[in-house]
Chains A and B, each alone.
Chain A
Amino acid sequence: AQKITQTQPGMFVQEKEAVTLDCTYDTSDQSYGLFWYKQPSSGEMIFLIYQGSYDEQNATEGRYSLNFQKARKSANLVISASQLGDSAMYFCAMRDRSNDYKLSFGAGTTVTVRA
């Protein structure tokens, strides 16, 4: 069964605007972790942000923030003030006990920032 769903295969955003990338997850565990990674065209996987299921505050890292809605099982990534260098594929991932804490990745969303 799909544990991580990213419904947006591709998105365009204007430079300096904000963009929200959707991620929904499926788990019956109470304790789990959610991650976002960025993969630019050069291919490396870059860790962006982490949210624990018990964290009361939404995680933020610079221009990245995670809109965590536990009841809806969603963990959307918000990139504020988009820059050309934000053009990349973005992956949502989750680790939970039912999967032996192994990371499950979504299919990814491609973001293209336009000047």
Chain B
Amino acid sequence: DAGVIQSPRHEVTEMGQEVTLRCKPISGHNSLFWYRQTMMRGLELLIYFNNNVPIDDSGMPEDRFSAKMPNASFSTLKIQPSEPRDSAVYFCASSLGQIADTQYFGPGTRLTVL
């Protein structure tokens, strides 16, 4: 069975550019999560969706960040404009039902903003 798929795996961009990260959750999973991991702050939940609807975006750092889930098999996290402090590993995770279920993570996207 395919796990959570993320693309790209690595992204290097310059400050001010738009960055779009993509995620395909495990088929049949109804909840999708976006996390950010940095050395300083560890793993932070940015936003999560249930049945394609954003439920909690309280972790989104600022208006430069936006996330969408147009259908059950695809989600994007966009940063516009990007800044060097956005450099981190961004993970997408999915779970079968509600937020309380076990979350399975994708391989992550390592973002570097120069």
Interface string of B32-71 (1 = CB under 8 A from A): 0000000000110100100000001000000000000000
- B103 contacts the other chain (CB 8 A): yes
Interface SS of chain B: strand
How many A-B pairs fall under 8 Å by CB?
Answer: 41
- Interfacial chain A residues near B107, Cβ < 8 Å: 42-44
- Interfacial chain B residues near A37, Cβ < 8 Å: 105
Count of A residues near B, CB < 8 Å? Answer: 19
Closest to A50 in B: B102
Count of B residues near A, CB < 8 Å? Answer: 19
Closest to B100 in A: A101
- A12 contacts the other chain (CB 8 A): no
Q: A residues within 8 Å of B by Cβ? A: 33, 35, 37, 42-47, 50, 91, 95, 100-103, 105, 107-108
